[in-house]
Amino acid sequence: MTILRCPTFTSPMITLPLVAALALAALPAQAASAKRYEQAVSGQWRLTAALDGADVASLDEKEAHRLVGRVVSIRRESVKFGDRTCGPSGFEAESVEPRIFVREQFHADPAKLGLPNPVTVVDLSCTSVFIKGANRLVIAWKGWFFDAVRVRR
């Protein structure tokens, strides 16, 4: 008899508590994962290059290149860039295949971004960042992708 046909595991009185227990057991791992990604991307990040724009973007190429050298601040409470402040972030992250993910989610060409494969993408309140290395990100902002390095304190 398999576990799927076992009356013990098909009874709602057993199944519901079992599912709830498994879901609750996953919460600490999820919270630890979010904390790890929060530490990886929190801080001050200087844009070093405008890499490429999406098929449809809020910035044109000239505007994107003018942002190079500016600093993005990422914290749990907010993401700040220039005069724009976005709300709190949950730092949900996933490992993705960049060629597919960037094309599907951003309608952009991933070839120009220099991302590792797979790459971890972290969802922030008003944007997404790709972890390129310990102190390097690719930040998506208004339809453009920017290389960014951590600003040392």
Instruction: Determine which of 27-36, 38-47, 114-123 has the lowest per-residue pLDDT on average.
Output: 27-36
Segment (H or E) for 18? helix 12-41
Alpha-carbon Rg for the chain, nearest whole angstrom, is 20
Q: Each residue of 83-117: pLDDT tens digit?
A: 899 999 999 999 999 999 999 999 999 999 999 99
Confirm if 136 and 148 have CB atoms less than 8 A apart. yes
Enumerate residues 6+ apart whose C-beta is below 8 A from 75: 42
Q: Each residue of 6-37: pLDDT tens digit?
A: 454 454 554 445 444 444 433 343 445 678 89
Enumerate residues 6+ apart whose C-beta is below 8 A from 7: none
